[in-house]
Amino acid sequence: MSTLDQQPATGHDRDALAHALYTDGITACRGAFSAEWADRLREDIEELFAEAMASPNGAVGRGPHRYYVEIHPERLRGFVDIVTHPWVVAVCEAVLGPDYKIVEAGFDIPFPGAVYQPWHRDFPSPQETYEGRRLTSLAFNLTAVDTTPEMGAFEIAPGTQWEDGLDFDHGMFPPKSHYPRYEALVQPKLPQRGDISARSALTIHRGTPNVSDTARPVAVVGFLRPGADESRNDLVASREYYESLPEQVRRHFGGRVVDVLEPLVQKHTIEGLVMGEA
């Protein structure tokens, strides 16, 4: 682990945070929350997943036995804790600027039987990134269980956020001829309850097989720089919930506010992940 991976929850060096994301494409804050806080996160995710599976198109397949669900933020008891955490705020301000937007809330679950995903990024790289060398989005992940190697480590190839991806399938899936280079760079991540990671969704990564008997739920919260493409996101909050939020959160809230919540139409389908790695 790098020294940045071991950074405590206080005393943030914003230059160092930005440097980590502009070099490796990922950094983390260990022990940002208590294990008990993470246990409540797991309870919420399990309830929301059961609801999603009972609804038509309520969950998006990300490969065999692997799902992603976008949610209304008010259904996650820890949402405000996450987006106001000093480390999260410091990372967003350092990389995305003071007027960053909160644009996504969801979770990913690899269940027992999940297989290797193909190496991929979450969306095509914008020209502002591959030519202008400027990151316009960040994804924060929070595990709801203590991850073990048997659960299928998240693997990432540091530094690959700058690849233009012009030869990638749909701008997201690199040709298999690139795989040996990613495997030479690979870093497996085994976060524990209470940890937060921040990454560029453009850094090439994959999920690995879950050969345990335990699911590995991970909450995801997404942020954008002002002016970045928001078409992939549809964060929605009820007016009552929005008005109850701290002013700091309302100021950065990048979603819609509605009088009555309706079931979300999942927008995060990535067809190339549905079958897993061939």
pLDDT in tens, 207-251: 999 999 999 999 999 999 999 998 888 899 999 999 999 999 999
Burial 236-254 (b: 16+ CB within 10 A, else e): bbbeebbeebeeebeebbb
pTM over cut 0.85? yes
Tally of CB atoms within 10 A around 46 = 15
Give domain 4-273's CATH number out of 1.10.3720.10, 1.10.10.10, 3.40.50.720, 2.60.120.620: 2.60.120.620
For position 274, what pLDDT does the model report? 53
Give yes or no for a contact between 210 and 65, defined as CB atoms under 8 angstroms apart.
Answer: yes
Which of 44, 39, 32, 143 has the alpha carbon at shortest distance from 91?
32
Task: Please give the Cα distance from 243 to 170 (Å, whole number).
Answer: 39
What's the CA angle centered on 35, arms 6 and 153, to 5 degrees? 60
The domain segmentation of the chain, as residue ranges, is 4-273
Dihedrals phi, psi of 143, to nearest 5 degrees: -70, 145
Interval 101-159: pLDDT, tens: 999 999 999 999 999 999 999 999 999 999 999 999 999 999 999 999 999 999 999 99
Give yes or no for a contact between 221 and 82, defined as CB atoms under 8 angstroms apart.
Answer: yes
pLDDT reading at 7 higher than 50: no
What's the CA angle centered on 74, arms 70 and 79, to 5 degrees? 80
For position 268, what pLDDT does the model report? 54
